[in-house]
Chains A and B, each alone.
Chain A
Amino acid sequence: MSATALPMPVTAPTHLRPRMSPLVVVAIAWIAGMILVALLAEWIRPYGITAMDLRARLTPPIGFGGTLKHVLGTDELGRDVASRLIISIRISLMIAMGATVIAAVLGTTLGFLAAHFRGWVEQIVLMLIDFQASMPFLILALSVLAFFGNALGLFIVLMGLYGWERHARISRGLAIAANAQGYAAAVRQLGARPMRIYLGHVLPNIASTLIVSATLSFPEIVLLESGLSFLGLGVQPPMTSLGNMVGYGREYLTRAPWILLAPSLVIVMTTLSVSLVGDWLRDRLDPTLT
C-alpha cells in the first residue's frame, strides 16, 4: 500500500505556544493572590471583622494621613477595613465561584439532555430556559430569600441558578449541530455510548465557548451578590462581603471614600482578571489556534 502514499514530504508538527501577554500574567497573578487571600483569610487578617476601635473611627488609609495601625483605614464604627476586605474577598469569591460552577454544570447537563433526547425533554428544558430568561432574576432571588431565610449555602445555590440558561442554550445548540453532522455523528456511528460522545468529544470541543460564557457570568454574579447584599438580602451583617461593604460604605462616600473604594477596586480587578484569563484559556485550549 506504500505505493499509494503521498509523496509530499512532511515535517514534524511544530506547536507554537501562544505568547502569554504581560496583561494575562498580571491577571493570573491577581486571581492567584485573591485565592491565596481567601484561603489564608483567618490567619492574615489583622483584626476581627467586628472588632471596633471607637477612638479611631473613619481613620483614612496609610498615605492619606492614616497610621500603620489600620493600613486601609477604618469605617464609621472603627472596624479595620483591611480585615473586613480580606474576609469579604473570601465570602464573595466563594459565592461567585460556587455559583458559576453550579450554573455551568447545571446548564451544560440540561443542554446535553435536551440535545440527546429531543422531543418532550427538549421542550421542557426550552420552557425552563424561557422561564428563566423572562423572569427578572432579582425578584426571584428576593422572594426565595424572603421565604426561606438566608443561609450561605442556600445563597450560593440560588446564585447558581443565575446564568445557567446561557450555558444550556449554548451546549444544546452546539451538541445538536455536532450530532447532525460532524465529529459527534462520526463517533456515534462508531458505536460509542452517549456518555463517551458527550463527555469525551462534545464537551472538550465546546469547552472554549462555555469557558468564555462562564467568565462572563462570574462578574455578573459578583455584581448580583453585591446588589442583593446592598438591598440587605444577601450576606447579612455582621458577616461581610464585597457588595455588602460597598452598600454600607455608600453613606460615607464623601467623608470616607476608602470604605467603598477598596472593595470596589477588588471587584473591578477580579472580574477584569477573570475575563482576561478566560480569553487566554480559550485560545490556549484550542489546538487549531497555535
Chain B
Amino acid sequence: MALAATIVVDGLIYASWLFVVALGLTLVFGVLQILNIAHGSLYAVGAYAAASAVGLFASLGFAPVFSLLAMLLAAMAVALILGPILERGLLRLFYGRGEVVLLLVTYALFLILEDAVKLIWGVNPYYVSEPYQLFGNVAIGPLFYVGYDFALVVLAILCGAAVWFGLNRTAVGKIVLAVIHNHEMSASMGVNVNRVHWMAFTFGVFLAALGGAFTAPMISVQPGISVSVIIVSFAVVIIGGLGSVEGAAIGAVTVGLARAAAVHLLPEAELFSIYLVMAAVLIFRPEGLFQRAAARKI
C-alpha cells in the first residue's frame, strides 16, 4: 500500500513538468503541424537560462523567493527571443514540404541548439539550489517529499487550466482553434494565419522553457538533458493524441505512473516501460487516446 502511494506521488510529480513541456509540443503540432524535435533543446535552453537568471538575482541580493520570478522571466525571455526567430526565420521556409521534411528540419535545429548551448554555457553542470527549499518539506505517511515538487504539480495544473481556458473561452483561442481546424478557410475569413503561427510557436517555446526553468532546481543542468526530455515528451503526445490538451494531460500522467512503477518495481525497465506503454496504446488506439479518427481522403 505504501509502495502504491509512493508510486502515485512520484508519478504525479514526474508527470507535472512533463505535462508542461508536452503541452507546448502538442500545441505547436496542432497549429503548425510540426512535431518539433528541437523542443527538448528549448527545454534545455530554458533550464540553463533559469540557472543564469537565478544566479544573477542572488548576486544582486534579492531574497530567495524572487528566484521563482527569475525562473519565470528566464522562460519568457527565451520564448520571446527564440520563438519568433525560429518560426519566422527558419521553419516558415519549409511549410508545405510534408511532415517528415519538417521533422528533419527540427532535427537539424536540435543538433545546432545542442552545440550552441554548449558554446554559451559550457559543459560543466549547473545547480540551482535557491528555490528548492522555498516550500519546505511535506510528509506523506512515513516519507518526506520536498514541497517544491508539489508546487510543480500546482504549476502544471495552472498551465493546463490556463491553456484550456484560453483556447476554449477566449476570442484569441477560438481563432487559434479555427486555424488548427483549417488553415486556408481561416485565412480566407480574414485571420492573420502567419501571426497565429509565430505566436503559437512562441507560446510552445515558452512552455518548453518554463518546464526547463522550473525543473532546473530538481536536476543538475548539463548537456544531454534535452535528449531524455524529447523522447519522453514524444511518447506523451503520441499516447494522448497529437494536438490535444486533454490528451497531453492523460499522456503525461500515464507516462509518469508507468515510469514511477518501473523505477520502484523493475528499475532496469525505466525507459523501456515508457515506450512499451506508448506501443501498447498505439496498437489499440492507432491515433492516440484523444484523437478523433481522421476522415479518409480519396
A binds B: no
Which residues of chain B have a CB within 8 Å of any CB of chain A?
none
Chain A residues near B (Cβ < 8 Å): none
